[in-house]
Structure 1
Amino acid sequence: MFTPPDGLCSIGELAERAGVTVKAVRFYSDNGLLPEASRSAGGHRRYGPDALDRLRLLRSLRTLGLPVREVRRVLDEEADGAQGALEDAVAGQLRDLGSQLTALRWREAGMRLVLECPPGERADRLRLIGAVAAPPSTAPMARFWRAWLPPRMPARARTAFLEVAVARPPDDPDPAQVLAFARLNALVTRPCTGGEQPQPEAHKGSGARASAVLYAGLAQAYELAGARLREGGAPRPGEELDSFVDAYARAYGSRDTPAFRRRLAGQLAADPRIDRYWELTADVITAPGGPPEPTPGSAHDWLFAALDAQTAAG
């Protein structure tokens, strides 16, 4: 394919055969991605027989959107006979594309939200969604809960709770989910009245071990109650309630007795509530047109209703 007598070709010939511009070949050469075999007497670049295949590979990698540094890593590894760099680079590019697509879907849903709302509400909608990044970040929700949870709560228990308490935004939201997430973001970022978030009675005086025991037990109880909620079951005594009460009893170093259940019901009735957080969370995670997804908040309400009914009957 190369012209005799030396078996080398010029930069123009190489560019023509590869279907790229001379400028592109020069760029790759200047960046060390396409070594030239020699220079002519007039200082013109000359390329060897392997340059065409390497240039075609370069073009393919760049067409996939790989940055120059990743292309260099792939080429260097192939030259050493190793494997894996191409797969890693493509996997990383796929993750980046996924993030970009999610951002575009959130922007599209946000635009539809503004376009479809009554004119009198547009300024408020714009203010809400303008405070949310695309793709959206859950960091404000995590900060909200870190300030709310017991200060001595072990890191592992705290992380486990955040996994279920922080709403995970969908990759392909509808406008209602965008609005709910924006309102949730506004809720957790607004200043607290009095400067501090009200804490449940269970947090007062609880040590590291007690808080870990409590929230591990509550997670199990919420999961059981969530299954009942999905079935549409009414609050009632059973395994779910027993698990719920046991979490508090073990955290307090007490026994599960009728008297303890009455005290617990009174305490929970007096605890501060964050119903709006859980309502918005359900709106964010529920698929459009589907039944509401259970949250720790709705599971807690189901369990408290079961406990309240049982203690009132007793």
Structure 2
Amino acid sequence: MNDDELHPIGHAARRSGLSVSAVRFYADAGIIEPTALSSAGHRMYDVHAIARLELVRTLRELDTDLDEIRRLLDGDTTLHDLLVTHLEIVERQERALRARRAVLRTLVKQGGTTARTDLMHKLVSMTDEEREQAVDDFWNDVGEGLDVPEGFVDRLRAQRPILSADPTAAQLEAWIELADLVASPTFRAEVRAYLRDTYSAPEARTLATEPFQEFMHVTGAPLMEELLAAHRSGESPGSPWAQRAVTRFLEAATALSATPLTPEVRNRMADGYRQVPDILRRIAEEDATSETPVYDDTHGRYATLVALINGTDQAHDPIPYTWIADAMSTDAPPRSQEVS
């Protein structure tokens, strides 16, 4: 197409992807005027005008209004600035649509009523400050007068949802469920009862103390991960790698109670790990028939939803308790023996 060649309105419309009536409209609105008029008074367009018509069509498809397009073509704004503005608008619309989808999916699952719809909308529209307050109110209520070691509830409180500025639909759905739960007096009472029943007993209080919790979640976690890495690499429990890792873990664990790491202590801890699978099975069976609050329905549900909201919900391989017990034992299998 020659830059100086003039084309009738029908050709300009076809080239730009617009209808003839749309080209006329943009000319009458002073957006893209014809380059010239033919001797018969017909509107004629050169290649530059047709290119501008193509741009107008694209911008209109992006819901850009005519005043913005006019400012762009008049040189009052740049294409880059216009596109940045519209990208922000589209992203806001996308977030709003995700929020609506989360509300609708939740309502479909739960059965929607007018009051329920209102509540779901309020939950996804909460500010960061309102979300923080909702979680604080929950833990204040759960922890009030709870007979557990000092600082335990504060450590649980530190695990809190942080909804990103651009959450996925799944994260929004998890937040809706969590916000609904933490506001529920029934859920609060069940979490409180679970924590009381689990950690108030004298034999379990040690598990809730700050040194033990710090070991489980901070200092001991990388030590256990090193041990699990040896297992994932196919090392036998008696290999040098596994033995270095398990010894570091046991030394840190026994230091909590200032207990020397003797062969008897190693074997006692090994026996404890061997019993874990049977204990977990028994707990699962009891939970299935229990009428009292259990972990998966109380604090466990809270933790799961927080992980979903924060994007930290990762699948974990089953813990190889028997392999760990063999590594702890003073009779650990030799390096050449494969233990699964």
Above 0.5 in TM-score? no
Query: Which TM-score applies when normalising by structure 1?
Result: 0.43
What's the TM-score, normalizing by structure 2? 0.40
Structure ID, larger Rg: 2
